[in-house]
Amino acid sequence: MLTAVLSLSGALVFGAADFLGGLAAKRIGAILATAVAALTGCLALLAALPLIGGEWRPDDVAWGALSGVVNAAAIGLLYAALAIGPMSILSPLTAVVSAIVPMAWGLASGETLGPLGGWGLAVALVAVVLVGFVPERGAVRPSAKGLALALGSGVAVGAFFVIMDQTSDASGAVPLVMNRSADAAVMFAIAGAVALVGRRRRAGAGRSAAAPARAPSSPSRVDASRRARSVGLRLAVACGLVDVTANLLLLGGLRSGDLTVAAVLGAMYPAGTILLAAIVLRERIAPVQWAGLVLALAAAGMLALA
């Protein structure tokens, strides 16, 4: 029961973090937004660690750092897949794969579920697809590259669950501290490399005789850009705090029960994003998504009883 409650709650909160991260990415870019969120989460966990507790065991530190690198790869592959599209197909594909990988690992490792639990997992997988699937008018078929990137992202997200499940209960939040540290290091390194390449390209264009002169930006445009950047940074910080809360809930779900149940319910994270988008941005929730949300709650109940 506790595993189902913590995992589903963590998924909904994680969806809220994705919503905030999406708003931040529109203003400061996906790479910088992810890096700032990861750094914020790391600092928040370090501040709260004396209250949460945790032993700094070498194995748990290594697992946590590895999960951070895997998490950075998952985000990078996800953004690349969604940029190719169509999102309505690749997004739910990623979520389903992220549920199947740890579920298969858990069952192969000896976890067993009763008949009700098996049906609950099946209903949960259907719910993941319906929640993330939004039929687009005239949607095109996904390319082989888009499918490969989405599958890679799903495998990486699923691997995150498997890796975190290897940590000991005594480690507390230490693996998450290492996760956020490694994630922030990777994303800031990427952001720095992208900025350096951009600067060199601009310098090369400036030395070219054929490069057209840029018109000076108006003060109002500069002020608007600064305000957007400031808002984006604040949203990224909020995203980091909410994301840490979600990960603590998901980690609690993993440690209180089976990896199989925790991972499948954790894959419901699109539901939180969709609900917030409907409430805050007035985006329409498709009937198929409402059906998915209902099935998600039903699946959580079945898995809790199992």
Question: Measuring CA to CA, which residue among 16, 150, 151, 131 is closest to residue 83?
Answer: 150
pLDDT at 66: 96
Domain boundaries, the chain: 2-201+225-305
Instruction: Give mean pLDDT in consecutive 10-residue pieces for the chain, a chain of 306 residues.
Output: 84 85 83 88 90 90 94 82 68 79 84 77 79 61 81 90 91 92 90 85 66 58 79 92 91 86 80 77 76 76 64
pLDDT at 140: 58
| 3-state SS assignment for residue 171 | helix
pLDDT at 132: 67
Peptide bond into 86 cis (omega under 30): yes
Give the whole-angstrom CA distance, residue 9 versus residue 3: 10
| 3-state SS assignment for residue 168 | coil
pLDDT at 213: 53
Amino acid at site 226? R
pLDDT at 3: 83
pLDDT at 60: 94
Contact 93, 84 (CB under 8 A): no
Give the whole-angstrom CA distance, residue 45 versus residue 53: 10
The structure's pTM equals 0.78
